[in-house]
Structure 1
Amino acid sequence: MPEEDLKFSTAEVNLVLHATEDGNKVLQSIHDVLSVPLERFSVSPSEGHYKNKILLLKAILSSQEAGELARRIMSLLNSSDREHLSSSLPEYSDEKGNLYLRLDKQRIVQGKVSLSEADAIRIRFRPVKRYRPSGNLESYRGLLSSTE
C-alpha cells in the first residue's frame, strides 16, 4: 500500500503541563516544531499524583493536518528513532490500526523531535481505513522509509 494511500481521519495531541513549566513556551514550541495550531488546544485544569496543579492539554487535528503532522514527525525523527519505530511498530499501534507516538516534550522545546516514554507529548493517529489494520502497519513502515 503506497504511502499516499495512508490517510488519517484525525490526530489527537495530548500533553500534561506542570506548574513548574512555562506553558506558553511549551505550546509555542509545539507550534513551531510540529505546526500544531495553538488555537486547537483545549485546557483542563487537574491535579497531579501529589496534589500538584497540572493542566491537561488536548488538540484534535483534521484529516489533512493529521497526515501533515505524521509526515513532519517522521521527517524530523533521527534515523535510530525511525529504525526503532519501524522494527517495533506493533507496540505503537492497536487492533484498530491507531498509531500512538510519544514525543519528548523537553526536546521539542529545544527544537528537536525524538521518541520518549516519560513526560511525553502523546499523539494518536486514527486511520481512515479500518478494514485491514495489518495493512496500516505496512503503510506506517512506508511512511517511515519515505522520509529518510
Structure 2
Amino acid sequence: MIHNISYRLIVYGTEDEEKVLEALRNILPGAAPEREEAEGYHGNPITVLRGRITRRRALREFMESFREIFRGRMDELKDRFDDNGNLFLRLDKQEALKGKWQPVEHGDAIHLKIKVEAYPARREVAAENIKGFLE
C-alpha cells in the first residue's frame, strides 16, 4: 500500500527530547531519527529529528493503525495529497505522547510524508488507493 514514510519534527529548547521521541515512536514504532542541531527563528536552539521508514513490517504496522484511525474519515485526507501521490499528515505531538493520532494544521507537529503506491503516481490514483484501503 505504501513505499515509505518520511518524518520530521522539531524539538524546541523548552521540550523534553525523550518525550518528543516517545510521541514519535507512538506513531512510528522503531523510528530512529537523525538529529540536527539548529537555530530557531528567534535565535533559540532547536533540534530537528528526521528519518525514513522503509521496512515492510513497520510500514504494515503503521497502515494497520492508520486504517483504524481514519476508517470513514477519507474526507479529512482528500486534500492532503500532492500531485505525485504523496500523502502529507501533521499529527499533534502532545496527543501522540498519549498514543492518539490527532491531525492538525499548525507546524509544531509530527510531519509525515507517506509515499502511496500509485501507478501512475498521481494524486487521484493515490487517493483512490487509500480510499479503497480504508473502506
If the TM-score is normalised by the length of the shorter chain, which range does it land in?
0.7 to 0.9
Give 4+ residue runs of structure 1 displaced > 4 Å after superposition. Answer: none
TM-score normalised according to structure 2 size: 0.84
List runs of 5+ in structure 2 lacking aligned partners: none
Query: Which residue matches 2:114?
Result: 125
Q: In the TM superposition, what is the alpha-carbon distance from 1:26 to its structure 2 partner?
A: 1.6
TM-score normalised according to structure 1 size: 0.78
**Aligned mates of 1:116, 1:72 — CA distance in 2:** 18
Query: Which residue matches 1:107?
Result: 95
- Structure with the largest fraction of helix: 1
**Aligned mates of 1:74, 1:51 — CA distance in 2:** 40
What is the percent sequence identity of the aligned residues? 25
> Using a 3 Å threshold, how does the CA distance of structure 1 residues 132 and 59 change in structure 2: closer, same or farther?
closer
Within-5 A mapping of 1:3-82: 6=1, 8-31=2-25, 33-38=26-31, 40-62=32-54, 64=56, 65-76=58-69
Query: What CA deviation, in whole Å up to 9, does each residue of 1:58-114 have, x standing for no partner?
Result: 12101522343233134235x7xx62xx12534201110001111011111122111
List runs of 5+ in structure 1 lacking aligned partners: 1-5
Within-5 A mapping of 1:127-146: 127-133=116-122, 134-145=124-135
Letter in 1 for 2:98: Q
SS in 1 for 2:18: helix
Letter in 2 for 1:135: V
